[in-house]
Amino acid sequence: MTAAVIGAFADHAFLKDLGDRHLMLLATGAKPMTFAAGDYLAKEGDAAKAFFLIKSGHVALGTHSAERGNVDVQTVGPGDALGWSWLVAPHRWRFDCRALDKVQAISFNAEWLREQCEQDHELGYQLLKHLIGAIAGRLAATRLQLLDVHK
């Protein structure tokens, strides 16, 4: 494994259980990205064309309510993954994703990543195991937000 791959991937919590073969494969599709505070990584309802691993900074996940306006549901930060909508048809973002400060992330093209998972079911299974944890966290955060609304 090259030093660049180790630096960009091996230290990210989302990828900790992946073997060298899968890390090297993901490295071929990785694109470093930087977002300024206030930039949107994704908007609710838009096509989910990317999957992000957050290296630094924080991203607010939120939705819009006619009664309350924009409502932040959860904040993700370094070591977190952002997005599961790329994997689930109809491949539309379920939340707005807004940078709260400067965010450095690793981005993967959704179509490319889905194809890699189809070709390598072990990779798909490993990513899905990690995504389930992220989804469970989002559901718990949404539940807390709903309880707060009904106080």
pLDDT value, residue 117:
96
Q: Which fold has domain 3-149?
A: Jelly Rolls (2.60.120)
Q: How far apart are CA 15 and CA 54, in angstroms?
A: 12
Task: Indicate the pTM of the whole model.
Answer: 0.86
Residue with tokens 């390598």, as numbered in its chain: 120
Reported as a single tens digit per residue, the pLDDT across 13-60 is 888 888 889 988 998 899 999 999 999 999 999 999 999 999 999 999
Token representation of residue 37: 């505070």
Looking at per-residue pLDDT, the higher value among 47 and 150 belongs to 47
Residue with tokens 């990828």, as numbered in its chain: 15
pLDDT value, residue 68:
76
Q: In what order do the strands lie in the sheet with 30-35?
A: 30-35, 103-109, 50-56, 81-82
The kind and range of the H/E element at 140 are helix 121-149
E strands of the chain, at which residues?
30-35, 40-42, 50-56, 59-65, 69-76, 81-82, 96-99, 103-109
Looking at per-residue pLDDT, the higher value among 82 and 3 belongs to 82
* Residue 1 in this model has a pLDDT that exceeds 60: no
When pLDDT is cut at 50, 70 and 90, the band that residue 64 belongs to is: confident
Q: How far apart are CA 66 and CA 88, in angstroms?
A: 26
